[in-house]
Structure 1
Amino acid sequence: MTENVNGGLTKEQLDFYEREGYLVLPSLLTPEELEPTKEAMNAKVSMIADHLLKDGLIDDPFIDRPFEKRLAEMFKDLTEEDFLKYGRSWRDRHPGYFQLMSNPKILDVVESLIGGEIFSSPVYNTRPKIPKVAAGAVPWHQDKSYWPGANANPVITVWIPIVDANEVNGCLHIKPKTHRKRLLEWHHEELTGTGYTALRENQLGNTPSVVLPVTAGSAIIFNDRCLHMSTPNRSEGVRWSVDLRYQPTDQDPMLNQGVGFLARSRKHPDRVATLEDWLAKRPEHEEVPS
């Protein structure tokens, strides 16, 4: 058995990440560890169902449907525009997301890459990729295009599917060895009307892309310059995923994107944010008078 070094990753895993620019960690999280995240997602779906019922767009909240099918069936007879009213990704402050972002397994992996002073970026997203919605397909891009002025390199993305992600429902595709590229000139794509940042075909280079189907609870790790995309959902269910981002505490906290939080500190563990801090949008722990 290979011994872990410097946090949660082995030397072989670190070498692969350094060379290829990404890393797949199969089954990092258990189904039990995913449950709070699913609860957060279900809470949002129930809220949307209430809105759709009130507006007369559906007559059934589909509460008896399986997790991976409910949202898809709610919008089966509606339009893309109906769905996009709720956004192409969600960033709700629900306890389930804080539990995920604070999971020690994830933080151990991140610590292997950037050290033990870890800031959880405000740029985290829940992505409900439903069938027939063009916005579910994300064009080739670099995450850094969304914060081009930040001195935040590396910002580490931890992408986690909550259901199995495959070529049918729209898994990730990555261009290996592109993590050392500069920030490329990007444009806003026009197909979906969502304003995704995108690269043109002639910017992608000759590096073959790698398709990354993974099971629920696995993780795909890469930094903010690595080229990646995902394909449309051609299944009958929802491809649920989250993308979390972490960076060293001595870099720009990207306040223009929201309020992140101190997720781990080996130097100042007393400053690590609690759930109550995060819900109150406090980036570090504060004793609040009772």
Structure 2
Amino acid sequence: MDMTTGHFGGSLTEEQRNFYNTEGYLVLEDLLNEEDMIAPKEAMQMKVDAIADDLAVAGLITDKLEGRPFPYRLAELFRGLTAEDFLKFGRSWRDRLPGYFHLMSNPKIVDAVESLIGGEIFSNPVYNVRPKVPGVAAGAVPWHQDKSYWPDANANPVITVWVSIVDATLENGCLHLKPKTQHSRVLDWHQETYTGTGYTALHDHQVRPHKTVALPVKAGTAILFNDRLLHMSTPNLSDHVRWSVDLRYQPTDQDSMPQHGAGFLVRSHQFPDRVATLEDWMARRVERENATSA
């Protein structure tokens, strides 16, 4: 935000900002290209390699399927195994691999966020890499508000940036959301029992009155939404993994939520010398080591 004019910079148009502020979300089609996807995909493939190694050592598979295409390999590794076998590796991943830092720092994403909250931006520690695997109940995420995962944090606004790594379709479990629900307080929630993961969930009577929008999108699309907006995703009924990543950003003057991990300063017009590097992030430092800005 320009402190003298009160105007936001960034890449979004006034129309896009107005839509986000009114509806609580914004779809940015084709925000990322294939080159932008290389680093995060490499990180995901490193994780899948490690999982394949573990499954082989445990005697659960005899073929690591190293030649299979990216969308299919993880799905085929777990074909014939149980949901419990998959959940041993977590319902979502938060590994500190360089590819994820490069995604979180991508100027195309940060420029869009700047349009909404100004140019002093903190990358929240709650980021998730989500491999929605066919046949695993944990892939279906019930209606919830992201804010329910940090109800006591003094952080508002927190913007979720959900990025599709492969095409997200109605069949493989795309996002569904309830427009204009971002002004809701944090609703009373419970921990669901269906998936075996304890997702926070809302009751049907809390979400039924609001219109639902399904958002099938192409790979490289980013969906931005407020952390109070009601949203969910459906099960994966396809033969491949619906890969996505959800990132979160907030103004630097808000609670950095250290109880959830170490985020990092991703952009600052006031103190550019403090912006964290990959080395800082890998070392869990929130700002650049030996920064000289006062």
| TM-score bucket of the superposed structures, by smaller chain | over 0.9
Instruction: Pick one of 183, 196, 206 that aligns with 1:203.
Output: 206
Amino acid at match of 1:94: L
1:246 aligns with 2:235: no
| Structure 1 residue 287: Cα displacement | 3.1
Other structure's SS at 2:229 match: coil
| Structure 1 residue 215: Cα displacement | 0.4
**Structure 1 residue ranges (4+ consecutive) displaced by more than 4 angstroms after TM superposition:** none
Cα distance between partner residues in 2 of 1:287 and 1:50: 39
Structure 2 partner of 1:83: 86
Cα distance between partner residues in 2 of 1:261 and 1:248: 11
Structure 1 partner of 2:147: 144
| Structure 1 residue 6: Cα displacement | 2.5
Cα distance between partner residues in 1 of 2:57 and 2:22: 53
1:97 aligns with 2:100: yes
| Structure 1 residue 205: Cα displacement | 4.3
1:161 aligns with 2:183: no
| Structure 1 residue 198: Cα displacement | 0.2
Other structure's SS at 1:100 match: helix
| Structure 1 residue 153: Cα displacement | 1.0
Q: How many residues align?
A: 285
1:229 aligns with 2:232: yes
| Structure 1 residue 135: Cα displacement | 0.4
Cα distance between partner residues in 2 of 1:205 and 1:232: 19
Report if aligned partners of 2:9, 2:119 keep a CA contact under 8 Å in 1.
no
Other structure's SS at 1:38 match: helix
Other structure's SS at 1:283 match: coil
Q: Deviations over 1:197-248 (max 9, x none)?
A: 0000011142210000000010000011000000000000000000000000
Other structure's SS at 1:240 match: strand
Structure 2 partner of 1:218: 221
Moved more, 115-124 or 6-15: 6-15
| Structure 1 residue 18: Cα displacement | 1.0
| Structure 1 residue 77: Cα displacement | 1.1
1:170 aligns with 2:173: yes
Amino acid at match of 2:84: E
Cα distance between partner residues in 2 of 1:170 and 1:135: 12
Identity %: 68
Cα distance between partner residues in 2 of 1:170 and 1:137: 7
Instruction: Pick one of 173, 183, 188 that aligns with 1:185.
Output: 188
Cα distance between partner residues in 2 of 1:234 and 1:100: 28
Cα distance between partner residues in 1 of 2:37 and 2:55: 27
Amino acid at match of 1:135: A
Structure 2 partner of 1:6: 9
Q: Deviations over 1:164-189 (max 9, x none)?
A: 00100000001000011110000000
- What is the TM-score with the length of structure 1 in the denominator? 0.97
Report if aligned partners of 2:162, 2:245 keep a CA contact under 8 Å in 1.
yes
Amino acid at match of 2:56: L
Amino acid at match of 2:193: E
Structure 2 partner of 1:41: 44
Structure 2 partner of 1:265: 268
Amino acid at match of 1:255: P
5+ residue gaps, structure 2, are 1-7
Amino acid at match of 2:144: H
Q: How does 1:96-115 map to 2 (within 5 A)?
A: 96-115=99-118
